[in-house]
A and B are shown apart, each in its own frame.
Chain A
């Protein structure tokens, strides 16, 4: 029995805006005689929009109406209505995300795009989605190795590292192809991002607005930008400027990298060997690509070309933002979609604690989410759980969760539990009974989350067997 769900990816980047629609196919992979196991068996991109320049009102303001017009037009061209879209993600990347009216745009979009289209929550998730969209995750899985993807866009470089199909590291830097732009007619510099300006000033390079920049200076600055990427991945001593350019936590680098892939707008010119008009886009993108091409990145790592380059982020948003829960779960009421639920995650060692201490740990973490003296935000508790628990052990875990989450259930009509191991149905039923059927319970499994993550849970699929889940990872940020 197959079932499909339509997903949209919208990427509003520093320089370009794109959309894709994809069809995500679900199927029960278990035999009829077994407990069901619904899985995502295929993803197929059914429509790709044109690539638009992101409409801006000024250097720091997105033209929200302009963006909405593009998006509405593309839904129409694809022949799809917002109601038909089951899931997806909107990404406002790079410098654009720091633009003043990004929040306003997101609000307009979430009203239009579809019920369960989520707004992403920061550069780490974007790095992950770009890496997945590029296909770096798949390469790491197929070849059983570690792959680092550098998504070099207009405003930022998002780096994600995958080992055997799992994300193990991310970081983000303000390095991009459109951080210096030129007027195509006069050749004068139109825009220099503040951070790059600072970098140039420190190097005593004459790069600034309304001046014609010398090509040698531009080559020097792009080489420096490329060197900062080398610093980020551990090929060069870190300089003070690296800290300035870094926007999140730096890479952990406690692993060795087998392959490096590049995606994003700049990537095509890293892989392409042809000579071009260096300023055909009126920015430093091609120069930056050349600098990367001559960098240690190319000699110290084995480089491979991913499936998607320019479209990696939008494909990631459209095809890889959603995962599905395990197929035996509990929800006592259709309370979906649930959006932006913060996670409190119990560590495996905390799960080993005796009853009282475990409950204490939960309460301690719940306290982080007090809005004032009295009221507390609705949070979900996440545990790893046990592979083959006894019924008594399940009841024990349920009792402890209820006790630890008491404040939540006193103030909210709902208890949300996320488990890694396959035990959500029995745990959910146990919680429901212990709560005397007075509170609603949502208990899902086969989902990995961490402290600092937020999750969105959508309407049930496949005959109410599974729910779509979007995990908004912020974990690598903390």
Chain B
């Protein structure tokens, strides 16, 4: 990512090249103004509304709608930005700001890390794929599904061998999703499995993980069924959506069709606790029918 300083020098360079050196001073001035403004806004920040807090499904910007109830009924069925009205041919300022704010939420979901506190609270030890940082994770999907020998040794040393079900957690493309859901979904799955009389292995956390990393984990732990709880690529509706990918005896390079997925786990989709109970049920079915993905008829 380009830092602010770099950005400034790039703009300066462009301006100079355009023979607009005089603009340079202006730019500096406006920068000062901006920082001044920052100070001001820090004072008044308390009163500002976080626009991402507004429930889009209930927000109608159409002035004096013909049938408000009808519009709200349609809006209730979708997180899409409908009934937002316009200013001439463009969005209203509020809509535009909200769009950019939601985009920022999505960016944050990708670029933050799952907090150490959460991992220790959930008692999850942590390993890392062959990616060394977020940029590498984003640009090298192949590395996000591989592990170094050392990381796998940690798994071998710390985990119960050949469990019926191996569950692990991975940041994927949204650490926010893990932050939002894991406290509720993990105990729900574990409780459900206990009720079904299924023995689960030792859960842990994988940093910079892609979905197929589960195949390596499956081979390493010798689990009958492997399940990864992973952050979904965030969209403009939510940055908190998580998926569970599950497979019966997953192996590296197996067909994708052998994975079963439960997606859309977030507070606007399926609640984490209820999804957890459902996932436990699906895992039980996989063990009973010795199949997953398209092979599993449910």
Residues of A within 8 A of B (CB): 33-35, 144, 328, 330, 387-391, 394, 422-426, 428-430, 432-433, 437, 463
B261 partner residues in chain A, CB cutoff 8 A: 33
Taking a contact as CB atoms under 8 Å apart, the answer to whether B184 and A429 are in contact is: no
Within 8 A of A (CB), among B240-272: 243, 261-264, 267, 269-272
A332 and chain B: residue at smallest CB distance: B195
State which of A388, A422, A437 has its C-beta within 8 Å of the C-beta of B195: A437
Taking a contact as CB atoms under 8 Å apart, the answer to whether A426 and B273 are in contact is: yes
Taking a contact as CB atoms under 8 Å apart, the answer to whether B191 and A144 are in contact is: no
Taking a contact as CB atoms under 8 Å apart, the answer to whether B271 and A432 are in contact is: no
Question: Within the complex, what minimum Cβ distance (angstroms) separates A109 from chain B?
Answer: 37
10 intermolecular pairs with C-beta atoms under 8 Å apart = A390-B183, A390-B184, A391-B183, A394-B188, A423-B271, A425-B192, A425-B281, A426-B273, A432-B195, A437-B195
Question: Within the complex, what minimum Cβ distance (angstroms) separates B170 from chain A?
Answer: 18
Taking a contact as CB atoms under 8 Å apart, the answer to whether B262 and A35 are in contact is: yes
B277 partner residues in chain A, CB cutoff 8 A: 328, 330, 425-426, 428-429
- A-B residue pairs, 10 tightest by C-beta: A425-B277, A426-B277, A426-B273, A388-B267, A391-B184, A35-B270, A33-B263, A391-B187, A328-B278, A388-B271
State which of A35, A328, A389, A430 has its C-beta within 8 Å of the C-beta of B191: A430
Q: Tell me the complex Cα distance, A389–B275, Å.
A: 12
Q: Tell me the complex Cα distance, A429–B281, Å.
A: 10
Q: Tell me the complex Cα distance, A463–B296, Å.
A: 13
Interface of B is mostly: helix
Taking a contact as CB atoms under 8 Å apart, the answer to whether B195 and A426 are in contact is: no
Taking a contact as CB atoms under 8 Å apart, the answer to whether A389 and B195 are in contact is: no
B7 contacts A by Cβ under 8 Å:
no
B273 partner residues in chain A, CB cutoff 8 A: 389-391, 394, 423, 426
Taking a contact as CB atoms under 8 Å apart, the answer to whether A34 and B274 are in contact is: no
Q: Tell me the complex Cα distance, A422–B187, Å.
A: 18
B-side interface residues, number (CB < 8 Å): 32
Q: Tell me the complex Cα distance, A424–B274, Å.
A: 7
The number of inter-chain residue pairs (CB within 8 angstroms) is: 78
Q: Tell me the complex Cα distance, A422–B243, Å.
A: 18
Q: Tell me the complex Cα distance, A387–B267, Å.
A: 8
B200 contacts A by Cβ under 8 Å:
no
Residues of B within 8 A of A (CB): 67, 69-70, 73, 183-185, 187-188, 191-192, 194-195, 243, 261-264, 267, 269-278, 280-281, 298
Interface of A is mostly: loop
- Among B262, B263, B274, the most chain A Cβ lie within 10 Å of the Cβ of B274
Question: Within the complex, what minimum Cβ distance (angstroms) separates B105 from chain A?
Answer: 18
Taking a contact as CB atoms under 8 Å apart, the answer to whether A387 and B195 are in contact is: no
Question: Within the complex, what minimum Cβ distance (angstroms) separates A334 from chain B?
Answer: 16
Q: Tell me the complex Cα distance, A430–B192, Å.
A: 8
Q: Tell me the complex Cα distance, A425–B275, Å.
A: 9
Taking a contact as CB atoms under 8 Å apart, the answer to whether B270 and A34 are in contact is: yes
Taking a contact as CB atoms under 8 Å apart, the answer to whether B69 and A426 are in contact is: no
State which of A35, A144, A429, A433 has its C-beta within 8 Å of the C-beta of B69: A144
Q: Tell me the complex Cα distance, A429–B262, Å.
A: 19
B188 partner residues in chain A, CB cutoff 8 A: 391, 394, 426, 429
State which of A34, A426, A429 has its C-beta within 8 Å of the C-beta of B263: A34
Q: Tell me the complex Cα distance, A437–B196, Å.
A: 10
Q: Tell me the complex Cα distance, A463–B194, Å.
A: 22
Taking a contact as CB atoms under 8 Å apart, the answer to whether B280 and A429 are in contact is: yes
Question: Within the complex, what minimum Cβ distance (angstroms) separates A467 from chain B?
Answer: 15
Taking a contact as CB atoms under 8 Å apart, the answer to whether B184 and A425 are in contact is: no
Taking a contact as CB atoms under 8 Å apart, the answer to whether A34 and B262 are in contact is: yes
A330 partner residues in chain B, CB cutoff 8 A: 277
Taking a contact as CB atoms under 8 Å apart, the answer to whether A422 and B191 are in contact is: no
B263 and chain A: residue at smallest CB distance: A33
Taking a contact as CB atoms under 8 Å apart, the answer to whether A433 and B298 are in contact is: no
Taking a contact as CB atoms under 8 Å apart, the answer to whether B298 and A463 are in contact is: yes
Taking a contact as CB atoms under 8 Å apart, the answer to whether A429 and B195 are in contact is: yes
Q: Contacts A34-B264, A387-B271, A425-B278 known; list 11 others, CB within 8 Å.
A: A33-B264, A35-B262, A144-B67, A330-B277, A388-B272, A390-B183, A391-B184, A391-B272, A429-B191, A429-B195, A463-B298
Question: Within the complex, what minimum Cβ distance (angstroms) separates B124 from chain A?
Answer: 16
Taking a contact as CB atoms under 8 Å apart, the answer to whether A35 and B275 are in contact is: yes
Q: Known contacts A33-B263, A34-B270, A144-B70; is A426 also within 8 Å of B183 by CB?
A: no
Q: Known contacts A33-B261, A430-B191, A433-B195; is A422 also within 8 Å of B280 by CB?
A: no
A33 partner residues in chain B, CB cutoff 8 A: 243, 261-264
- Among B262, B277, B280, the most chain A Cβ lie within 10 Å of the Cβ of B277
Taking a contact as CB atoms under 8 Å apart, the answer to whether B73 and A423 are in contact is: no
Q: Tell me the complex Cα distance, A467–B9, Å.
A: 66
Question: Within the complex, what minimum Cβ distance (angstroms) separates A82 from chain B?
Answer: 30
Q: Tell me the complex Cα distance, A433–B274, Å.
A: 15
A387 and chain B: residue at smallest CB distance: B271
A425 partner residues in chain B, CB cutoff 8 A: 192, 274, 277-278, 281
Q: Tell me the complex Cα distance, A445–B19, Å.
A: 70
Q: Tell me the complex Cα distance, A394–B185, Å.
A: 12
A422 partner residues in chain B, CB cutoff 8 A: 270-271, 274
Taking a contact as CB atoms under 8 Å apart, the answer to whether A426 and B262 are in contact is: no
A423 and chain B: residue at smallest CB distance: B274
A141 and chain B: residue at smallest CB distance: B73
Q: Tell me the complex Cα distance, A430–B261, Å.
A: 24
B274 partner residues in chain A, CB cutoff 8 A: 35, 328, 422-426
B271 partner residues in chain A, CB cutoff 8 A: 387-389, 422-423
A28 and chain B: residue at smallest CB distance: B298
A391 partner residues in chain B, CB cutoff 8 A: 183-185, 187-188, 272-273, 276
B67 partner residues in chain A, CB cutoff 8 A: 144
A424 partner residues in chain B, CB cutoff 8 A: 274
Question: Within the complex, what minimum Cβ distance (angstroms) separates B144 from chain A?
Answer: 21
Question: Within the complex, what minimum Cβ distance (angstroms) separates B169 from chain A?
Answer: 15
Question: Within the complex, what minimum Cβ distance (angstroms) separates B70 from chain A?
Answer: 6
Question: Within the complex, what minimum Cβ distance (angstroms) separates B171 from chain A?
Answer: 20
Question: Within the complex, what minimum Cβ distance (angstroms) separates A443 from chain B?
Answer: 10
Q: Tell me the complex Cα distance, A33–B245, Å.
A: 10
A430 partner residues in chain B, CB cutoff 8 A: 191
Question: Within the complex, what minimum Cβ distance (angstroms) separates A211 from chain B?
Answer: 55
A330 and chain B: residue at smallest CB distance: B277
Question: Within the complex, what minimum Cβ distance (angstroms) separates B272 from chain A?
Answer: 8
Question: Within the complex, what minimum Cβ distance (angstroms) separates A165 from chain B?
Answer: 10
Q: Tell me the complex Cα distance, A229–B271, Å.
A: 48
Q: Tell me the complex Cα distance, A33–B192, Å.
A: 20
Taking a contact as CB atoms under 8 Å apart, the answer to whether A144 and B73 are in contact is: yes
A429 partner residues in chain B, CB cutoff 8 A: 188, 191-192, 195, 277, 280
